[in-house]
Amino acid sequence: MQDRPHAEIVRDNLTSIQAHILQEERRHPGASGDFSMIISAISLAGKAIAAKVRRSNLEDVLGAFGTTNVQGEGQQKLDVIANEIIMRCLGDRVSIAVLASEEDEEPTILRRGSEGGKYCVLFDPLDGSSNLDCGVPVGTIFTILRNDPTIKGSVETVCQPGREQIAAGYILYGSATLMVLTTGSGVDLFVLDQSIGSFLLVKRGLRIPRNSKTYSVNEAYSAQFPAGYRAFLDAAKKDGYSSRYIGSMVADVHRTLLNGGVFLYPPTTKQPGGKIRMLYEANPLAFIIEQAGGMAYSGLHRTLDVRPTQLHQRTPVTMGSPEQVDAVLASLRKHGEGA
Ligand code: AHG
Ligand code: MN
Ligand code: MN
């Protein structure tokens, strides 16, 4: 039987995301408020991007921008717009040293060394954007890292293992606009109330179900997957599993967080290192899934323990409910793959 999440549903009080973060900061004596300024800028960017996404079928912002990003992927007009919005919202926050985006080849250095800057923010401005024209949910994924001023290069500065993240989240532009956020003490869910323009806390302490027989993977590529993944999928079919795949990782992982199951993007012969970007896709989502009681692996390694060496590095991912992730790992071990 499937476990249900036991998040605390917040009913009576109206708590905005800004108030929530300020309350959290009060528990840390000496907190400067810098962190809440960053979350506030991210929520402003989320509202501005949501407004663009919501009107995208009415304005000339759908379709290809006509360029490719550093990963050789075609950019959508809204990828470029969302990237600019985030840069503008975060660019003047004095506590940010470095910004890094999926859409930009190099990190943007805002201030270094004696100029201060405690944090780095890394993001995927619009995940799932190739599906935008058909109205599927897309999202912004972000992570906040500490800036070590003794490290010279900006790429070296942001190439931290995921376990070093101090906060991570995503904004999902779906049937509602919502934000999921962790600062390392559980996962909270906020929903944008369009009528007042605020993200309001609706669930505190989200927990992923321990077990749910659902897998989420682009199964058309399964002939290219290593044998351990194929064996898991074969066994799952015989075991009464159901399948769900949107093709927007942020939306697939959000559903997995709420309903349970496992999201997979394995290595393929075309992409032997996997497709998902480590620093601003896999790590933030892995942090959230773990904080909700789930598991996240890259092959046979815990995703958050992998030390990245490149800004746009890719990784295979398996993340979700503990029982399903364990079953995938067991299958990988049995077939001697994924290490
Ligand atoms: P992005 O739109 O930021 O480039 O990311 C797309 C990613 C991810 O969201 C999704 O899970 C995956 O691409 C889908 O890939 P396939 O089309 O290969 O299934
Ligand atoms: Mn993406
Ligand atoms: Mn993207």
| One domain, residues 176 and 238 | no
| One domain, residues 219 and 197 | no
Q: pLDDT band at 338, cuts 50/70/90?
A: low
Measured in angstroms, how far is the CA atom of residue 275 from the centroid of ligand 1? 8
Q: Where are the alpha helices (DSSP H) in 164-238?
A: 227-238
- Ligand 1 atom closest to the Cα of residue 124 is 3
| One domain, residues 95 and 15 | yes
176: tokens are 């509602």
3-state secondary structure of 167: strand
Domain C-terminal end among 203, 223, 244: 203
Q: Which ligand is nearest to the CA of 102?
A: 3
| One domain, residues 197 and 80 | yes
Query: Does 75 score more than 80 pLDDT?
Result: no
Query: Does 317 score more than 80 pLDDT?
Result: yes
Q: Is residue 95 part of a domain?
A: yes
Least reliable range by pLDDT among 1-15, 69-83, 185-199, 201-215 = 1-15
130 lines ligand 1 (CB under 6 A): yes
Q: Whose C-alpha lies nearest to ligand 1, atom 16? A: 247
Q: Is residue 68 part of a domain?
A: yes
Domain C-terminal end among 151, 174, 203: 203
| One domain, residues 228 and 106 | no
| One domain, residues 170 and 224 | no
Q: Is residue 83 part of a domain?
A: yes
Share of the chain above pLDDT 90, in %: 76
CA-CA distance, 122 to 143, in Å (whole number)?
5
CA 78 vs CA 44, 60, 63, 75, 196: distances in Å? 17, 10, 8, 8, 25
Instruction: Locate the DSSP E strands across the chain.
Output: 8-9, 64-68, 74-76, 96-101, 108-109, 119-127, 138-146, 167-173, 177-182, 187-193, 198-204, 214-216, 242-243, 262-265, 276-277, 295-298, 301-302, 314-315, 317-320
Q: What are φ and ψ of residue 74, in 5° steps?
A: -60, 135
Rounded to a whole number of angstroms, the CA Rg of the chain reads: 19
More confidently predicted of 82 and 67: 82
| One domain, residues 172 and 292 | no
Q: How many structural domains is the chain composed of? A: 2
| One domain, residues 161 and 219 | no
Measured in angstroms, how far is the CA atom of residue 30 from the centroid of ligand 1? 40
72 neighbors 109 (Cβ within 8 angstroms) = no
Q: Is residue 208 part of a domain?
A: no
128 lines ligand 1 (CB under 6 A): yes
CA-CA distance, 209 to 258, in Å (whole number)?
7
Domain C-terminal end among 134, 168, 203: 203
Measured in angstroms, how far is the CA atom of residue 183 from the centroid of ligand 2? 21
CATH code at position 135: 3.30.540.10
Helix (H) or strand (E) holding 43: helix 34-54
CA-CA distance, 326 to 339, in Å (whole number)?
14
CA 39 vs CA 95, 140, 174, 181, 223: distances in Å? 12, 13, 20, 10, 42
273 lines ligand 1 (CB under 6 A): no
Measured in angstroms, how far is the CA atom of residue 123 from the centroid of ligand 3? 9
73 lines ligand 1 (CB under 6 A): yes
Q: In this structure, what DSSP letter does residue 279 have?
A: I
| One domain, residues 285 and 321 | yes
- Ligand 1 atom closest to the Cα of residue 127 is 3
| One domain, residues 296 and 317 | yes
3-state secondary structure of 47: helix
Q: Is residue 147 part of a domain?
A: yes
| One domain, residues 18 and 136 | yes
CA angle 327/297/261 to nearest 5° reads 50
CATH code at position 325: 3.40.190.80
218 lines ligand 1 (CB under 6 A): yes
Measured in angstroms, how far is the CA atom of residue 228 from the centroid of ligand 1? 22
Q: Is residue 339 part of a domain?
A: no
Q: Is residue 1 part of a domain?
A: no
What residues form DSSP beta bridges with 216? Answer: 263
What is the model's pLDDT at position 113?
67
219 lines ligand 1 (CB under 6 A): no
242 neighbors 283 (Cβ within 8 angstroms) = no
Q: Mind listing the pLDDT tens digit for each residue in 230-266? A: 999 999 999 999 999 999 999 999 999 999 999 999 9
Measured in angstroms, how far is the CA atom of residue 143 from the centroid of ligand 2? 13
Q: Is residue 31 part of a domain?
A: yes
Pocket test for ligand 1, best of 67, 122, 130 (most atoms within 8 A of CB): 130
Q: pLDDT band at 1, cuts 50/70/90?
A: very low
Note down the domain range covering 231.
214-334
| One domain, residues 96 and 22 | yes
